[in-house]
Structure 1
Amino acid sequence: MSRPITATINTAALKKNLSIVRNIAPRSHIWAVIKANAYGHGIERVWKSLSNTDGFALLDIHEALLLREQGWQKPILLLEGFFHSDDLNILHQYHLTTIVHSHWQIQALKKAYLPSPLDIYLKINCGMNRLGFQPSEIHKIWHQLKELRSVGKLTLMTHFAEAECTQEVIEYMKKFSQTSKNLNGNISVANSAAILWHPQTHFDWVRPGIILYGASPSKHWKDIEDSGLVPVMTLNSKIIAIQNLVSGSSVGYSHYYRASHMQYIGIVACGYADGYPHHAPTGTPVMVEGIVTQTIGAISMDMIAVDLTRCPQARIGSSVELWGENIKINDVASISGTIGYELMCALSSRVPVKIK
């Protein structure tokens, strides 16, 4: 028998979450963001469940080609653009839309001889200072691109550094509006947080990412608990050993946890090599046989110790939810000093995945 850990992908939840985005932004087209192998869920596993989207947005050109090979014919957006001028022929061949954020990319487009033009997203740096042109350059660049035969439809975009912060959104949108004045093109600025909390940012295309997978774009599940969004990934395992600790005895590496009384504990087949956060402290929530309890001691490569005081009925083989439908990934991430995005993306390839 195989090790009892499993990640379950709920395809009905994916469909529901996409429909919620559609209802929140009914006048906008949707780029479903599936970068980082669909946030750890697996592009091949999830794209058909998201096929009601208007387009997919991702980073890697190989992921884009995979989608085309799988049968996806609608738009695909490359969120970091192209990385080499030779890529432009591939973008044309597979009908890919690309972000342009750097002057060298404009030069590559000038030199390109393509049978038909590419659709372009022109990225404005409104303050995040990762990718994009300064607002003062945009009008000049816009008109440069409009003159190129290799450039087709132009869309303006930017990205919020902290879209859960209303004041920042106001400042970004003021800068964006000033920059894009008199430029006749579509607009895409709303990420997951902006979709949920700032309807004035929806415009022509929205770009949902983490909310498609049923987690909060902030660090807190409570921020979306009334949204109807449903967790897509559930990480389950089982108890593989039981220990009875006497007062003063420890469990795990470095004796990080010592029992202050007689204590019934379980050892779960899951660890940081499976993608569980190594820094999760004692007290991180888990569910055993439907009862919420907590981890104790250090997280090992392959095992986690959990307190069974609240669930004395637990035995070897008892079910454990590490995160998912009941134990929210945001809560595990927050107490571990990280974010839900990282936990999703960190799911190990050694964990078997089941499609529900």
Structure 2
Amino acid sequence: MSFLPRAAEAMIDLDALRHNVGRVRTLAPRSRILAMVKADAYGHGLIAVSRVLSNEADGLGVACVPEGLALREAGLGGRVVVMQGCKNDDELAAAHAAGLDLVVHEPGQVERLERYAAGAAPLTIWLKVDTGMHRIGFEPEEIPALSARLQGMPAVAPGLRYVTHFACADDPAAQAVTDRQVARFRAATDGLQGERSLCNSAGILTRADAHADWVRPGIMLYGASPLLGTTAMELDLKPVMTLQAPLIAIRICRAGEPIGYGGVYTCDHDTRVGILAIGYGDGYPRHAPSGTPVSVAGQVCTVIGRVSMDMLAVDLGAVDCKPGDKAVFWGGNPAVEVVAQGAQTISYELLCAAGSKARRVYI
């Protein structure tokens, strides 16, 4: 006897992914693309997405060594950059054997490289400059001496690279912060030989002056806007993930009757209520409020009451539908940014959560 998996599906449109890479090429034609596939490709599936991007981009970016090793085990060659670098000697040896590039951002990593005997195949290193994010990286004034030290190590390949990360490039009102970060990066690397990388998705869209040698698109590859107050459609980005699940019941709830846990929503009139087979156990945000849009049978209705683990309720109004019809929770209409805003989170979190829990289907 066989059973179907959980009903929620994350439909992954690989042609939309290719389109979005093309947008990056158009926006940054003189830069190479390091496509970010960390966190299981933002919930879209590390290996399937990386197979596509390895033919469309110039390299892949992962968070940690195990993610890079997974790409190599899947048979993917080419440049893979580990943005957190190695955390211990075992990871350094594994990254070296797999031919991964490493970001170096703290003194222990420098010391580890100094002790390491790489032999005839030294490692490609990206030196992280903290220009204002204050997460990881070295202070700008440390960079010249660190650069000379690294380039004198047998374990480090010629051609050191320099990288920083913008903290506020998504906010049009905070461009002065990004201005300062760009200036600090340029001052820190002035006169040093090597390729540079500054721009994430938001920087690609707003800071053509800082595209440099490499850009690092992330969320825009997956068809969501990185910019506050701007939609993906306005940026000509196509949603890669469509989250959907079936309508499993329709019932009439009378005026004055509450819906769902806690009775936080009460019908103010006789209401056609649809029950959909998805909940926070599938990655849909529990805190999506009543009024969040959902498309049922191609028609817009709204969430009512609290989202449960495996189900949620919608006000169907006069929508022409029946049990078994599909509901779409994001991926075009509604856009993932709209759902995220209502749930007081960001599209990144929604995509990662649903992609890891719903059943992925590749188109």
SS at match of 1:66: helix
TM-score norm. by structure 1 comes to 0.96
- Structure 1: gaps spanning 5 or more residues: none
Change in 2 beyond 3 A, CA 1:188/1:218: same
* Kept in 2: contact 1:40–1:344 (CA 8 A): yes
Match of 1:13 in 2: 16
- Equivalent of 1:180 in 183, 189, 198: 189
Change in 2 beyond 3 A, CA 1:348/1:7: closer
Task: For 2:34 and 2:357, locate their aligned partners in 1 and report how far apart those are by CA, in whole Å.
Answer: 30
SS at match of 1:12: helix
1:335 equivalent in alignment to 2:338: no
Matches within 5 A, 1:1-356: 2=4, 3-51=6-54, 52-115=56-119, 116-152=121-157, 153-164=159-170, 165-220=174-229, 222-311=230-319, 313-347=320-354, 349-356=356-363
Once superposed, which parts of structure 1, at least 4 consecutive aligned residues long, lie more than 6 Å away?
none
String of CA shifts for 1:138-190, please: whole Å, max 9, x gaps: 11111111111111121111101111232221111111111111111110010
Moved more, 173-182 or 250-259: 173-182
SS at match of 1:122: strand
- What is the Cα-based RMSD across aligned positions, in Å? 1.3
* Kept in 2: contact 1:85–1:105 (CA 8 A): no
SS at match of 2:285: coil
Q: Report the Cα offset of residue 65 of structure 1.
A: 1.6
Q: Report the Cα offset of residue 11 of structure 1.
A: 0.6
| Number of positions where the alignment pairs a residue of Structure 1 with one of Structure 2 | 354
* Kept in 2: contact 1:219–1:339 (CA 8 A): no
Q: Report the Cα offset of residue 348 of structure 1.
A: 6.1
Task: For 2:187 and 2:232, locate their aligned partners in 1 and report how far apart those are by CA, in whole Å.
Answer: 32
* Kept in 2: contact 1:12–1:49 (CA 8 A): no
* Kept in 2: contact 1:219–1:334 (CA 8 A): no
The letter for the 2-side match of 1:76 is V
The letter for the 2-side match of 1:224 is A
Task: For 2:92 and 2:272, locate their aligned partners in 1 and report how far apart those are by CA, in whole Å.
Answer: 61
* Kept in 2: contact 1:293–1:310 (CA 8 A): no
SS at match of 1:13: helix
String of CA shifts for 1:225-252, please: whole Å, max 9, x gaps: 2222100000111111112111100110
Q: Report the Cα offset of residue 7 of structure 1.
A: 1.1
Q: Report the Cα offset of residue 351 of structure 1.
A: 2.2
The letter for the 2-side match of 1:106 is V
* Kept in 1: contact 2:44–2:355 (CA 8 A): no
Q: Report the Cα offset of residue 207 of structure 1.
A: 0.4
Change in 2 beyond 3 A, CA 1:266/1:340: same
Q: Report the Cα offset of residue 196 of structure 1.
A: 0.9
Change in 2 beyond 3 A, CA 1:117/1:326: same
The letter for the 2-side match of 1:163 is A
- Structure 2: gaps spanning 5 or more residues: none
Q: Report the Cα offset of residue 193 of structure 1.
A: 0.3
Task: For 1:157 and 1:59, locate their aligned partners in 2 and report how far apart those are by CA, in whole Å.
Answer: 14
Change in 2 beyond 3 A, CA 1:47/1:160: same
* Kept in 1: contact 2:8–2:244 (CA 8 A): yes
* Kept in 2: contact 1:219–1:340 (CA 8 A): no
Task: For 1:348 and 1:69, locate their aligned partners in 2 and report how far apart those are by CA, in whole Å.
Answer: 22
Q: Report the Cα offset of residue 33 of structure 1.
A: 0.2
Change in 2 beyond 3 A, CA 1:95/1:45: same
